[in-house]
Chains A and B, each alone.
Chain A
Amino acid sequence: MSDPTLAAFCDLVGSHDPVAVAGGKTRFGLGGSLREGTRLVSAPEGILRHLPEEMTVQVRAGTSVRDLHEALAEKGQRTALPERGGSVGGALAVGENDLHVLGRGRVRESLLQVRYVSADGRLVSGGGPTVKNVTGFDIPRLMVGSLGTLGLIAEVMVRTNPIPPRSIWLTARDVDPFAVRDSLVAASAVLFDGRGTYVQLEGQVGDVVAEQALLATLGRFEEVAGPPPLPLHRWSLTPAQLSDEVCMAGAGDFVASIGVGTVFASLPQPRATVSPALIALTERVKTAFDPTGRLSPGRDVLQGRP
């Protein structure tokens, strides 16, 4: 291992006591509270290499997403990671998509290469630095959304995307948000809060104008500064369940992401049960990567256990 920063992080994590990473702590409680006595460490920071012509950026996990995006914007690029005050490593370990997922892609697909510290304190690398790669098993996919229970992310190579020339938010009342979603091609987000529909259009100026004209045939849309405020809790439904009152019952105030299935709700989502076979497989994965259970103890990626 040639990078002293990563070596230092490995030493910091060590190989014995219960340990977890604290990033921006924006989603820190996901998966349950850490067991008492768990030592918290911070991942290293710093943007290492942005290659605009490769559409990749190599960045240390402790870097804030906001700083990363500021740096990328100088070359007209961005990533799919949500910008909400947290770190790059945190965004990946949590795996939740940005509001603009329709246009910017999923977080899980943006991670090309990951370097993490294993339960026994070693630096492990998965994936590869290129935009396309099927070399070996897909460790990066496994790390996204693993809540720090399989390895502690130290450094990553993330896919970047060009920032489109034009991006606007529009809103209208009394339109069918599902019809809006089905009609549009360049929508990065279609949100519905029970009354108003919010649309984000992104793309070439001419394309946005064309889509705006299309929207005008569906309702009286007006330009707004941004999306509506989002309630605290996050639900995961299928796109079809959004139009089903039974599935939406208990959400309280909500903002639903049409065509995606994410619902931002004032109340937490009732837990669904998970099959025994999936629980068994999940436990085998956890045990394989963290035999002693020292990584982020107390957190469970499966909230729906019976």
Chain B
Amino acid sequence: MKIRRTTHPDALVSILKQALSPDRVRNDAAERSLFSNDASIFKGGASGPVCFPVSTAEVQAITRIALDHGRAIVPRGAGTGLSGGAIPLGEPIVVSTMKMNKILEVDLVHRIAWVEPGVVNLDLTKTLMPLGFHFAPDPSSQQSCTIGGNVANNSGGPHCLAYGVTSQHVVALDVVLPNGELVHLGGLDAEPEGYDLRGAYVGGEGTLGIATRIAVRLTPNPQAVQTLLLAFNSVEDAANTVSAVIASGIVPAAMEVMDQLITQAVENYVNAGYPTDAAAVLLAEVDGLSSGVAINAERIAAIGREHGAVSVRVASNDEERARLWKGRKTAFGAVAQIAPAYYLHDTVVPRSQLAGVLRRVYEIGAEYHLTIVNVFHAGDGNLHPLILFDPRENGVLERVHAAASDIVEVSLSVGGVLSGEHGIGIEKRDHMELMFSFDDLDHQRRLRSAFDPLCRSNPGKVLPSPHSCADIQSLSRIPEGVWG
């Protein structure tokens, strides 16, 4: 039995500095403040010392020091998460993976790459492209976000419609468990024996330890790609088209919908030729072998016209396609042209319910006097309503919070789920009871405690009280000011 004691913060910092190097442990108040937030709207995090390990051994050392000193650890990648998963609560040691950013090995025989967690998603794909492969998960933040972060959040992206989310692309990992032990999960062989702890680890939001080496699957680049841009007079028409395409037996590589306001903001930034007078646009991509691609592209165009598409444009070359996608992927940021802040929501509903739920989302916006715009992964029913607001307006956050809760309720009422790709973090922690029973949550807690019995890794996330860590009472509720 290890005796845990609390230590003077300065002593902790000097021990960490000895274990790493002085310049890779930061404790300045200003610098710590930078690690108290992520890309979400949640404030109120408080970071302890920030460590930048460069090796698995250093991550183990930090973990053991944290354990000895009774401190929690919070792993962090690029800080582009949207659910507050990387926000440190209660001054834990923050472990930044940004200096563990090497692509260790590209193995074309097994069609995998071993990478460190701080490798940027798009950098990996750029490295693989000339070899004829890419990393399939492509979240909108892919130019900035890291593979480690993708693993933690089981990230998605437009092309997950056909290729699946991150879990399907992680073959094996080395994980430093919260007790400091190193464990190898999964494997390159066909069916690794034992429980699928690899699968259980992915999407653990940093509560199950820190992955220091990750074997990701390489996806062959498609032989042929066609990207279609369909314009509609209503968001419902676009949503119904999406549902009809899937029902017809086509699984496109991606199907994305943007409503008018967001399309206008995006077009202003990328000049991709998005029709700014359309109520909604559908960006659909099919890939694969050329014959099937041609057939499916034509069928999508036809289904679109049947459902009220006023125009159908096919990208004629790679540059045009890249420009259209750049528009889609920078959509969230482009919102700043409309309002200084937004709350980006993330729920999933059955595809057949998209049109009805969207109608309700706009109504909810009107009820709370908030502008809500929609840009989303329509193909898998993954909604991303953006609630726009000006934080300087008095009391606006309560309305934003209330509208967000209503959207969650509407989504769940039609058989949807809380999150499609952003994760639970602190954002939806207290919504978990809407989707899961006490027993369901208790079993999730059991899984977490098998990895982290002492609740040392990213405490206060994912599971609501009383399923969250009992020994850290202060985190059992979301701290004051998080929504401010």
Contact = CB atoms under 8 A, between A and B. Distances in A.
Whether A and B touch (Cβ < 8 Å) is answered with yes
Contacts of B189: 236-238, 241, 261
Contacts of A142: 195-197, 199-200, 447
A288 B190 contact: no
B59 to A, nearest CB: 15
A144 to B, nearest CB: 6
B160 A132 contact: yes
Nearest to B443: A124
A134 B420 contact: yes
Given A133-B417, A210-B291, A126 B194 contact: no
Nearest to A204: B292
A150 B194 CA distance: 12
Contact of B188 (A206, A234, A238): A238
A260 interface: yes
A262 B415 CA distance: 37
Interface string B291-324: 1101110000000000000000000000000000
B443 A139 contact: yes
Interface stretch (A15-23, A191-199, A274-282): A274-282
A45 interface: no
Interface string B436-474: 110111111011111101000000001100000000000
Contacts of B160: 132
A281 B247 contact: no
Given A207-B291, A278-B184, A288-B450, A130 B194 contact: no
A236 B197 contact: no
B447 A278 contact: no
Interface stretch (B95-103, B175-183, B272-280, B388-396): B175-183
Contact of A303 (B184, B193, B198, B453): B193
B104 to A, nearest CB: 17
B44 interface: no
Contacts of A236: 189-193
B226 interface: no
Interface in A262-306: 262, 274-275, 277-278, 280-282, 284-285, 287-289, 301-304
B193 A185 contact: no
B18 interface: no
B381 interface: yes
Interface residues of A, number: 79
A118 B447 CA distance: 13
B165 A138 contact: no
Contacts of A137: 200, 203-204, 444, 447-448, 462
A138 B270 CA distance: 38
Contacts of A60: none
A229 to B, nearest CB: 19
Nearest to B452: A284
A74 interface: no
Contacts of A284: 449-451, 453
A139 B447 contact: yes
Residue from B160, B182, B193 having most chain A Cβ neighbours under 10 A: B193
Residue from B109, B437, B450 having most chain A Cβ neighbours under 10 A: B450
B198 to A, nearest CB: 8
Contact of A125 (B198, B436, B462): B436
B349 interface: yes
Contact of B249 (A128, A162, A209, A287): A162
Contacts of A238: 110, 187-190
A207 B288 contact: yes
A162 B417 contact: no
**Chain B contact patch, size range:** 35 or more
B167 interface: yes
A207 B432 contact: no
Contacts of B262: none
Contacts of B424: 134-136
Contact of A240 (B109, B195, B437): B109
B213 interface: no
Given A210-B290, A261-B189, A302-B194, A132 B451 contact: no
Contact of A132 (B156, B181, B435, B439): B156
Interface in A104-160: 105-106, 108-109, 118, 122-126, 128-139, 141-142, 144-146, 150-151
A285 B197 contact: yes
Contacts of A288: 446-447, 449-450
Interface string B388-421: 0000000000000000000000000001111111
A51 interface: yes
Residue from B196, B436, B442 having most chain A Cβ neighbours under 10 A: B196
Interface string A57-68: 000000000000
B243 A135 contact: no
B125 interface: no
A257 B191 CA distance: 12
B246 A134 contact: no
Contacts of A304: 193
B202 to A, nearest CB: 7
Contacts of A42: none
B329 interface: no
B467 to A, nearest CB: 10
Given A134-B421, A136-B424, A145 B195 contact: yes
A276 to B, nearest CB: 9
Interface in B365-403: 377, 380-382
B289 A210 contact: yes
20 contacts: A53-B247, A54-B351, A122-B439, A124-B440, A125-B437, A125-B440, A130-B380, A134-B423, A135-B424, A137-B203, A137-B462, A146-B195, A203-B289, A204-B291, A206-B292, A207-B291, A210-B291, A236-B192, A239-B110, A277-B177
Given A133-B419, A134-B420, 7 more contacts: A128-B435, A141-B202, A203-B292, A234-B191, A280-B181, A285-B200, A288-B450
Which 5 A-B pairs give the minimum distances between C-beta atoms?
Answer: A206-B291, A141-B199, A261-B190, A204-B292, A53-B247
